Amino acid sequence: MLRAVCSLVLAALALCASAHESTDNRATLVLREPTHLVVTLYVGYGELLHRTLAPQQPVVDFLAAHASMSAEEFARVVVVAQARWQSGIALRSAQDKPLGDAVWAWPKPAEVQQLLRMRLMQSLVDPSRAAHEEPTEVRAELRSSKAMAALKVVFPPEFQKVIVVSYRPSQVTLEPGKPAALVQF
């Protein structure tokens, strides 16, 4: 038990020492093929969960309540929040038509609960310091029956500001013994 507590405290201290990066939620949209879109979200998951489930509750109280839930109860809460976010994310054509259903890959509830425990420990170690949360990655793939040259994207209000980066990658094959390939940006 003591070993587990020490590990959590050390991990919380490591989080305190993390480099500062943007706390905005980010989305990367990659058009792999004309009908194949890959979406990668980088979100402050704990903050997002707090804004979704109990925005009126102080953050530390929220973290303590959810970090101490049973795994089963926490999983139920997280699945409901994820379903809410997923239904609020809209990927539509430039003509505002549905593109199809995205297949989402959310973090496992146990990973999210561990993240909340880490944030709670961080806030207990140094309550005067603003908590820093490493972004959590969420992925989705969408295959549309129609080519996507442009699209509209909407996120739920709980996501607040989202920085969106979009691109279509280009590819070259480098072969041994052949002249260097020209890679263009």
Question: What's the rounded mean pLDDT across residues 45-54?
Answer: 94
Residue pLDDT, tens place only, 12-38 = 444 444 434 456 899 999 999 999 999
Q: Is 106's pLDDT higher than 50?
A: yes
Of the spans 57-71, 129-143, 164-178, which averages the highest pLDDT? 57-71
Percent of the chain with pLDDT over 70: 85
Taking 50 as the threshold, does the pLDDT of residue 4 lie above it? no
What is the pLDDT averaged over residues 52-81? 95
Inter-residue contact 28 to 39 (CB < 8 Å): yes
pLDDT of residue 87: 93
Higher per-residue pLDDT: 30 or 133: 30
Q: What is the pLDDT of residue 5?
A: 34
Q: Where are the domains of the chain?
A: 2-167
